Each structure stands twice: as structure tokens, then as C-alpha cells.
Amino acid sequence: MTDSLRRLLTPVEPVYVLPLHDGWERMPAADPRVADRLPADAVMRESVDAVLLPVGDDAPLAVPILERRVRGESFGTLDALAEERIAQGATAALGDAAVLRHRTLERSGAVEGVVVRYLLATPGTGRRRGVEFVVAFPALADERLQVLETLYDGIIASGVWRVPAAN
């Protein structure tokens, strides 16, 4: 079977496209300009597919969004991961049941902050594959942190699934 025929017969998975503010870009994780924005944790670093971040000095937000693809364990569904996070307090982001939001307080060395993970199942995969967005906020006053978290909740929840154009 030729490669072009294989591409025609293989379903193309949709990608979740986030609305990006002016001055923001989505860059592949392999881009050298984002190396310092990736987590120090080697496993997490390897699993990041892209980083969405401000590229201009005048961008109003400075906390990057890490994007990674996730798969169900042992070719299963994402249900076990979703159930585990719900048991740990995860909820629907802004009431959207399709976007599971899990907030944790984490420490890396002497630095403490809030990490918010958003899990979405990719349509058409039977919940076997999905996308996760990770945002790490520095330790801030509660009211400032709440405003930032709500803003990022809105960014993630306002994304749309799109099927990439065939080549």
C-alpha cells in the first residue's frame, strides 16, 4: 500500500485548537526557544508536544500552557485516569463536562506553586486518546491566583476540535 493511499484510508484525529491572544504562539516542544519553559521532570519533559506562550514583551499573560497527548493505559480508555483525578477533587472546567480540571499544590525544590491540568478526550477515539493542557502558576495571593485560574479555564474551555487539512 502506498504512503499516500494509507493516509487517505487512515482517519485523521482532530486536534484541540485554543484561541491565542495576540502575541502568543504555539511552538513545538522541540523548538529551542521553549527549552527553558519545559518542566525539569524528565518524564513530563519528554511527553510535552507543544508549548503555548507569549512571544512578545508586551503580552499581558506570561504563564505558558504545556500541551501533551495522552493515551489510555494498556490500550484502554482514559476512564481510569479521569476517575483517579475526580477522586482527588477534579471538576468540570467552567461547568463544561468535556474539560476535566484538576488543581494541585506542588513543590519543585524550594519553589511552590499551583499546577492545573485540563484533560479532554479526543473525539472519535472511544476515550482511548486525549489531550492534556498543563499550567503552572507561581505562589500568588489567593485573589490574584483565582483571577488567573479563571482566565486560563476560559482559554482552555473555549478551544474547539478541528480536523487537520489532508496533505
The structural domains of the chain, ordered by start, are 14-162 (3.40.1000)
Tell the burial category of 24 from Cβ atoms under 10 Å away from its Cβ (0-12, 13-18, 19+): buried
Contacts made by residues 146-150, CB under 8 angstroms, sequence distance 24+: 148/61, 148/63, 149/103, 149/114, 149/116
Please tell me the pTM assigned to this model: 0.85
pLDDT value for 7: 55
In sequence order, the β-bridge partners of residue 105 are 114
pLDDT value for 46: 76
Number of C-beta neighbours around residue 31 at 10 A? 13
Indicate the pLDDT class of residue 91, thresholds 50, 70 and 90: very high
Please list the helix, strand and coil fractions of the chain in percent, rounded to the nearest 5, in that order.
Answer: 30, 35, 35
Mean pLDDT computed over 140-155: 90
Q: What SS3 state is found at 139? A: coil
CA–CA distance, 4 with 157 (Å, rounded to integer)? 35
Contacts made by residues 40-47, CB under 8 angstroms, sequence distance 24+: 40/108, 44/134
Instruction: Work out the mean pLDDT of the chain and round it to a whole number.
Output: 84
Residue that is written with C-alpha cell 505562589 in the block: 139
CA–CA distance, 28 with 31 (Å, rounded to integer)? 6
Residue-wise pLDDT tens digits, 99-140: 999 999 888 777 788 999 999 999 988 889 999 999 988 888
DSSP 50: E
Q: Which residue has the higher pLDDT, 128 or 9?
A: 128
